[in-house]
Amino acid sequence: MKLRTKYILFVAILHIVALLLSYFIFDKNKIFFIFSEVFIIISLIISWQLYNELIHPIDLLVQGADAIKDRDFNVKFLSTGKYEMDELIQVYNQMMDELRKERTKQEEQHLFLEKLIYTSPTGILILDFNENIHQVNPRALQLLGVEEKDVLKKSVHELSHPIMQQVKQLQSGHSKMFTMNGAVSYKLQKSHFIDRGFPRHFVMIEELTAEILEAEKKSYGKVIRMMAHEVNNTIGPVNSILQFTLQTRQHSDELKNAIQVAIERNNNLNSFMRNFADLVRIPIPVKRPVHIIPLLQNVTDLMQLKAGEKEINFQYENQNVAFVINADIQQMEQALINIIKNAVEAIDEKGTITILTHANPKRLIIRDNGKGISPGFEEHLFSPFYSTKKDGQGVGLTVIREILFNHGFDFSLKTIVPGVTEFRINFE
């Protein structure tokens, strides 16, 4: 029973009893009976005034509590002219003003944080208490190459993406660098924040390929240019002296052969240094529309002789699927030559190099059935001067990486199953 009801019931019973008592006691004395009735009426008036002064403030408090419960901080009360009531109303109105300001501040901060996460160039995954993905921003979806519905509300332990495999092993407060498909480098960082007294984790994914490439190029570019300059300055005069010696004097056949070998070795050394120097002189691509099928045909025609020596065949799939890309035709031709050259060298003999094109999205796959990539070498494939070949310089894949990255094309090189290796280029 509400306090209001109790009060009204109490006042009603009390005055009914008083009215009955005055009737029976002062029934024969009209004057006392009239006085008693007037007293009861005055008591009723005072009771009503007390009701307004005591019960009405409680009603206001209930209304205010309901407003707070409903998170409606715009409800305020007007002054009544009564001191105690006005003090209570003033405190309540001040409290509502502060709550409204605090809520507005929190909403502004929340909206700012949401916008910051959404537009961040760093991929962000926010996990719930059960390590399920609660929120993911567009950059993270782009880096993972998935749709939001494919990862939202799913546990990081259920997802098989290489990045998520690394996230599983990452402890809160730690970061990790790793290279995927030997081409793209990422930095992962895992941390946490407190939500309702419990820690919730979030993961930041940052692609560092451009920064790493630039740092690498600056570090080895200066050294290569200095070495090339010194080698060229030395080989030119030495070869001139050797050539002059051969032409002006009589020598034994053994000495002539030795001098000729020295000249050829110098020329090979000069060519060796030019390959390195070319690596740091790749210009900015001049893009124009390029038809992919004629470009591939020209490259395979050029490499046909080298492939034929090992009885390697070129096989086209989806050859009728033609599309146009925006690229520097000379640089793309050089990149494709290096890719097919590596595929030829990966096959011992009697193999097949398959070329597949896909128009939607625009994609090129060059597949070989060679020996594949040895385990543990994937992360180093595109590292400068790294090579698994006996006489390799580690330049070919670096040139490919530089050209494709400058064009903004995603690419990967990996052995998908034993005996099948694919180089993929995504043009979109």
pLDDT tens, per residue, the chain with 428 residues: 666 677 777 777 777 777 777 767 766 666 766 777 777 788 778 777 777 766 666 677 777 777 777 777 777 777 777 777 778 778 888 888 888 888 888 888 888 888 888 888 889 999 988 889 999 999 988 888 888 888 888 888 888 888 888 888 888 888 888 777 666 778 899 998 888 788 889 999 988 766 666 666 666 666 666 666 566 667 777 777 777 776 766 666 667 777 777 777 777 667 666 665 665 567 788 899 999 999 998 888 888 888 888 889 999 887 677 889 999 998 899 899 889 988 998 888 889 999 999 988 899 999 998 888 777 666 666 665 555 555 555 567 778 888 888 898 988 888 888 888 999 999 98
Residue 113 lies in a domain: no
**Do 102 and 44 reside in the same domain of the chain?**
yes
Residues 203, 152: one domain?
yes
Q: What is the pLDDT of residue 356?
A: 92
Cα separation, 77 vs 92, whole angstroms: 8
Domain of residue 337, CATH code: 3.30.565.10
Residues 178 and 248 in one domain: no
- DSSP character for 132? B
Separation between Cα atoms, residue 262 and residue 92, nearest integer Å: 98
Distance from C-alpha of 372 to C-alpha of 414, rounded to nearest angstrom:
8
Final residue before a domain boundary, out of 245, 261, 279? 279
Among 253, 279, 305, the domain-final residue is 279
What pLDDT does residue 425 have? 92
Give Cα 339 distance to the centre of its chain. 29
What pLDDT score does 354 carry?
Answer: 93
Domain limits at 376?
288-426
Residue 82 has which token pair?
Answer: 């009564």
Check whether residue 298 and residue 396 sit in a common domain.
yes
pLDDT of residue 61: 72
Write down which residue in 143, 172, 207 finishes a domain.
Answer: 207
352: in domain: yes
pLDDT attached to residue 361: 87
User: Is 112 part of a structural domain of the chain?
Assistant: no
32 touches 26 (CB < 8 A): yes
Q: Are residues 203 and 155 in the same domain?
A: yes
Q: Indicate left, alpha or beta for 371 from its phi (over 0: left) and psi (-120 to 50: alpha).
A: alpha
297 located within any domain: yes
Are 125 and 194 found together in one domain? yes
Whether residue 78 is contained in a domain is answered as: yes
Q: Examine the domain organization and report whether 127 and 171 are in the same domain.
A: yes
Domain count, the chain: 4
* Residues 215 and 201 both lie in one domain: no
Note whether 251 and 309 are same-domain residues: no
CA–CA separation, 169 and 30 (whole Å): 99
Verify that 86 and 181 share a domain, yes or no.
no
Q: Can you tell me the distance from the alpha carbon of 100 to that of 168, in angstroms, rounded to the nearest whole number? A: 41
211 secondary structure, DSSP code:
H
pLDDT of residue 125: 92
Residue written as tokens 């094309």?
A: 409
283 DSSP 8-state letter: P
H helix count then E strand count, the chain: 12, 12
